[in-house]
Structure 1
Amino acid sequence: MQGKYTQALKLHDILDQDAGLGLINTHSFEMRLSQITRSLGQDGYIYANCLNRLMELALFQAGSQADQAECDTASSLLFRPALVLIHQKGKTAPIIKDPNLPLTSQFKEKGGNSLEVINWLKRNTFVEVRTQPFLPRIYQLLKETNLISPDELKKLHKNMDQLACTITFMDSLRLPQGMVFSKWLQDRPEPEKKALTKKLCSFDLDYFFELGELARNTLDDPGKAFSSLDLPLPQEDRTKVFTPYAVND
């Protein structure tokens, strides 16, 4: 059991390093999720805490990029399924969708133009989303632990909604190629600047680090029972985090 505590402490150190360096793409977050699951299993407080920190970090990273109109990674984390299978009539083995190509490009040999390819796909294939996008998937994993309070889940869902709104807003601006959003925003009139700023995510890592501190305090004394009241929360609507729980993983 001590090995699990040691692994958890190492993972928290790695997550802190990730926060400093910034995980730059969806693949990096997927690798970290796999590492957490492989090292800690998929149950208990230790797992839930690491998972919660990873989601906080992913939301922060995605929000920071979306706030600068750099939405590729943010969109991928929130919207792009990690694994999509294309099943073709008359064939047993499915085809894995290329995440970097639209279906009309991946199957371009099936028609002379995009419309012909679309019609062929409609007649001959069906799509199976095998693995959901990263953020909705990790949210569901957290929910299934039964160790995250409804208030905390509501907050995470609200932040995902905000991220979606910010991505949509940035896309609607149609900024010129190479334009830096912060520079563009700085040149707006003050009333417009204030209104635009309200559309940004503006996430921070305060709660991420507080979860890390709580985890280390608990792991240093594995027999200690703790309550969500032990954790100072950065926002009033985060009245609970975990149900009272004795660490006995």
Structure 2
Amino acid sequence: MGAALWLATFTPTLAQVTPTVPAATDTTHKFENPSGISSPVARAPWYKSKLVRATIVPAVLITYGATCINGNGFYSSYQANKDIHKLFPTFRTHLDDVLIIAPYLELGGVLLAGVESKNDKINIGLVVLKSELIMLSSTFIVKSLTKIRRPDNSDMLSFPSGHTAQAFLAASIVHNEFRDKSQWYGIGAYAIATSVAGLRMINSKHWQSDVVAGAGFGILSAHLGYLTHRNRWGRKPLMPTGMNIMPTWQQGAPGLGMTWKL
């Protein structure tokens, strides 16, 4: 009776224990990626490269500006000039000569306010210098080659607008440095640059084609300044991270010893 009771008690437990059968190894794809050999990294399509993304918008602006010079294009510069002076027949201002540096003033003000920029101040200065050289040289060459007369007949250096290129260059730098903090910094800077373009046309200093292409030249110059920069300057100098000063006793004379590590 006792043996029967013992078997009745432990038989369910023994029945629940089943041997584990190892899973079959999948050898279907064993030669597709040999152990220790990483898969080759797929290259991004050419139209997704940094250069294409940096030049597509400026290229569209410059192309549109070139196609509507004088009486050309769907909405020519002559038509735009006529419509502008219907709205502003006598309005004249020198505000455009001041606003071209306003985006840089915004840049300096935001930095002084303590907002962290994408690059340090030295590298921002180097990018600005490089971008300015690209913009000034390219616009001067194109002005000299095209020889388009200004609306006020003052000279033959109308295309593209240097004021507009300058304003949009500075606005692009503001946008690039602070877009990770807030898009409004860039929106404000581009609004100022657009105002400069509008005032240049109102003041009869430039045609529509000039300011649209000028915006393209300014943005392109800033983008090229960043693409060709490698942040080799402005690195923080090595400073002691730990310093200890302790008394010493050498050859019967007291002194102080100092140790530090970088």
- The TM-score bracket by the shorter chain reads under 0.3
Rg bigger for which structure?
2
TM-score (norm: length of structure 2): 0.22
Greater share of residues in helix: 1
TM-score (norm: length of structure 1): 0.23
